[in-house]
């Protein structure tokens, strides 16, 4: 399984090699740098260990993450958190899952949109996705962090712009054998899974699937209004595992 997974990542890298997507790669680098420097990575001795580290992580997530119960109180600090939360991740799996999706689907979307428009689209849709989740869960005291709302918007835009792009997927019920489907099959299937998961989600810590759905809808809607008819068919070899979503540490 590991060898197949590695081969899929290599193929994904080849598919975007030589492409002009500096914003995508800069976003990946920034998210990784923020994670490594923060307490969630567990690598910095400045945050201590054991209970001290856990306390530092909780304080860090509350400072930079979205807390729905505090977001609409009007403070300047809380108003900025839908943007800052996009660059904070709760765990290694959370970070790597999100960055893989951004790496695979971000480059072609950025090339189609252009650099300036892509970064505004990414931050704008990501912030609105977190705001949408916060509005529905206005009483929640859980801090919400992660780039999945923004990356879901990228997936929505990719679906509209490149609906026939071939996406290599690893499906658990097929023993993780790599199979290729068009984006118009893979990405709506992913969105349907988010919808089902959102309906079963509890109020406790976990993944904010609603933010995924809001981001996906915003991305697809924006691309359809901004670009009209979809781009001509293309072929993209890229892994499409189940992503980690916004974490509620």
| Separation of CA 180 from chain center | 22
How far apart (Å, rounded) are the C-alpha atoms in residues 184 and 189? 9
pTM across the whole model: 0.79
- Segment 29-45 shows an average pLDDT of 94
Does pLDDT of 233 surpass 60?
no
Residue 187 lies in a domain: yes
Number of domains in the chain: 1
CB 129 within 8 A of CB 215: yes
- DSSP-based three-state secondary structure for 11: helix
Residue 243 lies in a domain: no
Residue 7 lies in a domain: yes
Residue 163 lies in a domain: yes
Residue 102 lies in a domain: yes
Residue 201 lies in a domain: yes
pLDDT band at residue 208, thresholds of 50, 70 and 90? confident
Residue 234 lies in a domain: no
Phi-psi region of 121 (alpha: psi -120 to 50; beta: other; left: phi over 0): alpha
Provide the annotated active-site residues. Answer: 148, 212
List, for residues 114-162, the tens digit of each pLDDT value: 999 999 999 999 999 999 999 988 888 888 999 999 999 999 999 999 9
CB 168 within 8 A of CB 8: yes
Range of the domain at 187: 2-227
Domain of 216, CATH number, reads 1.20.1540.10
Q: How is residue 98 annotated by DSSP?
A: H
CB 246 within 8 A of CB 149: yes
């Amino acid at each position: 399984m590991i060898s197949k997974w590695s081969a899929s990542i290599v193929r994904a890298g080849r598919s975007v090699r030589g492409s002009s997507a500096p914003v995508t790669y800069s976003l990946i680098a920034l998210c990784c740098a923020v994670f490594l420097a923060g307490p969630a990575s567990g690598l910095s001795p400045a945050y201590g260990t054991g209970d001290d580290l856990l306390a530092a992580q909780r304080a860090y997530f509350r400072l930079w993450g979205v807390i729905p119960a505090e977001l609409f109180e009007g403070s300047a600090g809380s108003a900025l958190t839908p943007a800052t939360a996009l660059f904070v991740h709760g765990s290694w799996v959370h970070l790597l899952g999100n960055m893989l999706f951004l790496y695979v689907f971000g480059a072609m979307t950025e090339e189609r949109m252009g650099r300036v428009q892509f970064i505004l689209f990414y931050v704008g849709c990501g912030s609105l996705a977190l705001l949408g989740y916060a509005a529905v869960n206005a009483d929640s005291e859980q801090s919400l962090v992660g780039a999945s709302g923004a990356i879901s918007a990228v997936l929505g835009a990719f679906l509209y712009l490149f609906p026939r792009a071939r996406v290599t997927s690893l499906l658990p019920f097929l023993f993780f054998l790599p199979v290729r489907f068009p984006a118009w099959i893979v990405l709506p299937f992913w969105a349907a899974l988010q919808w089902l998961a959102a309906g079963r989600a509890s109020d406790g810590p976990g993944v904010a699937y609603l933010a995924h759905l809001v981001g996906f809808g915003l991305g697809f809607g924006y691309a359809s209004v901004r670009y009209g008819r979809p781009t001509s068919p293309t072929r993209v070899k890229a892994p499409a595992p189940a992503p980690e979503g916004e974490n509620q540490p």
